[in-house]
Structure 1
Amino acid sequence: MSTQPIHVDLPHKLGRAEARRRIEDNIHKLTGFIPGGGNVTHQWQGDRLDLDIGAMGQSVTARIEVEEALLRVHVALPGLLGMMAKPIEAALRSKGSELLLEDRTKA
């Protein structure tokens, strides 16, 4: 089965440690962005977050590499989900930083 790759760089000014903390605080919100819901499992490997996302009967793999001033987001869309690559990439570019880096410590 072929996959459609998406690569999006999201600049930030938080530093590596703070960006990583915020991603960890917000990772649970990903399921709300998956049509029909979904299952998200994640595991940190150093400063790389590996994600397995179950959505619409498909398994999507993704990773987020946390750098000092940049998040590198990589998503591999399998099969028919590949047709959604452009809108998913656009959503990542417009909402990715907000979703992943929102500061939930502020009330």
Structure 2
Amino acid sequence: MIPQTISVDIPHQLGREGARARIDSKIGRLADKIPGGATVEHRWEGDSLHFTVAAMGQQVVSRLDVQDAQVHAEIALPGMLALFAGKVREMLAKEGPRLLA
């Protein structure tokens, strides 16, 4: 199965610093949202958050680029998870703005 990278732009009205602070305060809770448990590793490089979620033998590598009026998300879905790329993209487009609200 070929990995697939999805991209989503999530609009916000927080400004760059506000969006970055909101993301930073919530990234640690990401593991709690994944059934069966997960580990999340993350690091900031300027206004880009690089993070990896490992769960159920899969590893998802992601990057969030925080901009003044949007967050650009790129998520690399490995193997079988690539089959769910459309659903993941829909979920991010729907839930992403709520997380930044």
The TM-score normalised by the length of structure 2 is 0.92
The RMSD of aligned alpha carbons is 1.4
CA distance in 1, matches of 2:30, 2:87: 16
Matched position secondary structure for 1:49: strand
- Calculate percent identity across the aligned residue pairs: 44
CA distance in 1, matches of 2:37, 2:96: 18
Shift of 1:98: 2.0
Matching residue of 2:47: 47
Matching residue of 2:86: 86
Deviates more, 1:26-35 or 1:69-78: 26-35
Matching residue of 2:34: 34
Aligned length: 101
Where structure 2 has 5 or more consecutive residues not aligned to the other structure, the ranges are none
Where structure 1 has 5 or more consecutive residues not aligned to the other structure, the ranges are 103-107
Matching residue of 2:61: 61
The TM-score normalised by the length of structure 1 is 0.87
Shift of 1:58: 0.7
Contact 1:62–1:75, Cα closer than 8 Å, also in 2: yes
